[in-house]
């Protein structure tokens, strides 16, 4: 018995929709690892296409079917191919895919050398219409120490954990590890998963000797990214989760480099 295809039936309201699809799929992916070639992780994936005005709906199951075709092979290199298949199989003129995932880097504590895995949240966004677009993003936890607090206080200064979110477009491949290292070098001090007492002393003193407002961090990251000729656009956000205020401090800067 044939079953009606309601999604493919005609809609008479003459209203096209920019994005329709599936959201928050948890799925295994492969990410290029600078030191170990590949890293397997699990992403939250959103997949969308545009919907022409004459279609009532899209076929949601086809998004999952396309993902399953690339089981174990979902990566940056495959994103354009997946987007093309989304356009073709869903009869769309544009396709959009977002991946958010944890990425782990082994770090050594600054004094003891103790090794631990540090988690970073990363993001990849690909779009394909008449042209293609790709954005790589990382969120890097860092330490910031308040310059004002240090200058006006007789004993110590307040510091806090901060989150620096960076998104870039580039000509040639940029390693996630390099992007994270650049950001960490622009803060008062990095954040570690494991610190011994001698490491706590080293990190605390490093932050005290390198005070930073959110504005300072955003400007320092801007200088670092601007120096990389392969980066053609970036957006930087810094949020300090203040330790003595009932609010966060925030700064953002977005800039094309071509």
In whole angstroms, what is the distance from residue 248 CA to residue 82 CA?
A: 39
pLDDT of residue 9: 53
Describe the crossing of helices 214-226 and 176-184 by its angle, rounded to 10 degrees: 140
Query: What is the full per-residue pLDDT of the chain (258 aa) written as tens digits?
Result: 565 555 555 655 778 889 999 999 999 999 999 998 899 999 999 999 998 766 776 778 899 999 998 877 788 888 999 999 999 988 899 999 999 999 999 999 999 999 999 999 999 999 999 999 999 999 999 999 999 999 999 998 999 999 999 999 999 999 999 999 999 999 999 999 999 999 999 999 999 999 999 999 999 999 999 999 999 999 999 999 999 999 999 999 999 988
pLDDT of residue 36: 87
Q: CA 155, 161, 166: angle at the middle one, nearest 5?
A: 135
Q: Which CATH class is domain 109-258?
A: alpha beta
pTM of the entire structure?
A: 0.90
- Residue 239 CB partners (closer than 8 Å, separation 6+): 162, 163, 165, 214, 248, 249, 250
Q: What is the token pair recorded at 133?
A: 């677009």
Residues in the chain: 258
- Cβ 183 vs Cβ 236: under 8 Å: no
pLDDT of residue 12: 59
For residues 96, 99, 100 and 105, what is the CA-based torsion angle, rounded to 10 degrees?
-140
pLDDT of residue 73: 77
Choose among 105, 121, 122, 101: nearest CA to 194.
105
- Residue 127 CB partners (closer than 8 Å, separation 6+): 83, 94, 95, 96, 97, 133, 134
Question: What residue ranges do the domains of the chain occupy?
Answer: 14-100, 109-258
42 has which bridge partners?
28
pLDDT of residue 2: 61
Residue environment code for 106-133, b if the CB has 16+ CB neighbours within 10 A, otherwise e:
ebebbeeebeeebebebbbbbbbeeeee
3 state SS of 71: coil
What is the number of other CB atoms lying within 10 angstroms of the CB of residue 186? 24
- Cβ 124 vs Cβ 168: under 8 Å: no
């Amino acid at each position: 018995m044939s079953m009606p295809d309601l999604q493919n039936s005609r809609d008479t309201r003459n209203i096209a929709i920019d994005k329709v699809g599936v959201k928050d799929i948890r799925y295994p992916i492969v990410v290029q690892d600078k030191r170990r070639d590949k890293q397997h992780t699990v992403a939250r994936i959103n997949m969308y296409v545009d919907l022409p005005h004459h279609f009532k709906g899209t076929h949601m199951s086809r998004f999952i079917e396309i993902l399953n075709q690339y089981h174990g092979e979902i990566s940056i290199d495959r994103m354009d191919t997946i987007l093309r298949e989304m356009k073709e199989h869903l009869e769309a003129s544009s396709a959009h895919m977002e991946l958010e995932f944890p990425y782990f880097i082994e770090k050594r504590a600054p004094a003891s050398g103790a090794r631990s895995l540090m988690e970073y949240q990363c993001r990849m966004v690909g779009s394909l219409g008449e042209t293609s677009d790709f954005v790589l993003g990382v969120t890097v936890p860092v330490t910031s120490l308040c310059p004002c607090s240090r200058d006006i206080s007789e004993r110590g200064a307040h510091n806090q954990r901060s989150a620096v979110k960076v998104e870039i477009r580039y000509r040639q491949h940029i390693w996630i590890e390099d992007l994270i290292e650049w950001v960490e070098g622009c803060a008062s001090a990095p954040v570690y998963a494991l610190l011994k007492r001698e490491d706590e002393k080293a990190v605390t003193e490093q932050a005290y000797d390198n005070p930073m407002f959110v504005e300072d961090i955003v400007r320092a990251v801007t200088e670092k990214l601007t120096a990389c000729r392969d980066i053609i656009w970036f957006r930087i956000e810094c949020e300090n989760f203040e330790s003595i205020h009932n609010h966060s401090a925030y700064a953002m800067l977005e800039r094309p480099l071509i």
